[in-house]
Amino acid sequence: MAQFKILISPAKSMNFENQINIEKFSIPIFLNQSEKIMEVLKKKSPKKLIDLMDISDKLAELNWTRNQEWTAINSKENARQAVFAFTGDVYIGLDVQSLSLNQLEVLQDKLRILSGLYGILKPLDLIQPYRLEMGTQLIIGSNKDLYQFWKKQVSEELNKELSENDYLINLASNEYFKVIDKKLLNVKAIITPEFKDYKNGELKMISFFAKKARGMMVRFIVENDIETIEGLKSFNYNGYAFDNSLSSNQKLVFTR
């Protein structure tokens, strides 16, 4: 029977302060590789981080401190589950805090989060505060950037979880999905949903709304046990509806 595996991006904004009551956790599969990346990052001064990431002085100081404190040993004191740590628009749409424990288990099975530091994460993988976008031009050993460092490893790991009857639902941004080598994936199809809004009489993809809708679609799949493309087309959260005229076999467009 065909199954869905879903990809999303991480978020730059993170929260390690609010209370969560989930005891279950898992460990990132590529921690050794994350450590190699962090060895390089730890040597970057705040000024170098400004140049590397195009961030403010304040963010550079914050992330320099994060880098120095980062360790491959995770605990409840220094880490939390990825899907609860990220707080950007996608995660607002997902609203993981209000999912049931059973739904959280489904999410753990179906959802994967791409990451510049961790490669690929399960929702309950423990992570520590960091900032490292996939598009960052960071040289790691003989790899000229993070795409070169991660592409083969992440694609092969994802492929282990897929079968030829499965669908990969790509809800990640272009920046992150570029790390996937599609030729390595043995799947029935890669489906990319898009979300567009009518504004001033024109249909546009508005980043804030589109990101939030990606999270809502993850939630929709989990809440409604969606396992078919026809089921996916019935997505109707927050006023969105499937538009057949704008869609193709691999691109599903939802408008409102």
Q: How far apart are CA 238 and CA 216, in angstroms?
A: 8
- Over residues 139-196, the pLDDT tens digits come to 999 999 999 999 999 999 999 999 999 999 999 999 999 999 999 999 999 999 999 9
- Over residues 207-216, the pLDDT tens digits come to 999 999 999 9
30 Cβ partners below 8 Å, 6+ apart? Answer: 118, 119, 120, 153, 154, 157
Q: How far apart are CA 50 and CA 177, in angstroms?
A: 25
The residue written with tokens 């396992």 in the block is 227
Core vs surface per residue 13-45: b (16+ CB within 10 A) or e? ebeeeeeeeeeebeebbbbebbeebbeebeebe
- Over residues 86-145, the pLDDT tens digits come to 999 999 999 999 999 999 999 999 999 999 999 999 999 999 999 999 999 999 999 999
pTM of the model: 0.96
Q: How far apart are CA 117 and CA 173, in angstroms?
A: 16
pLDDT at 77: 84
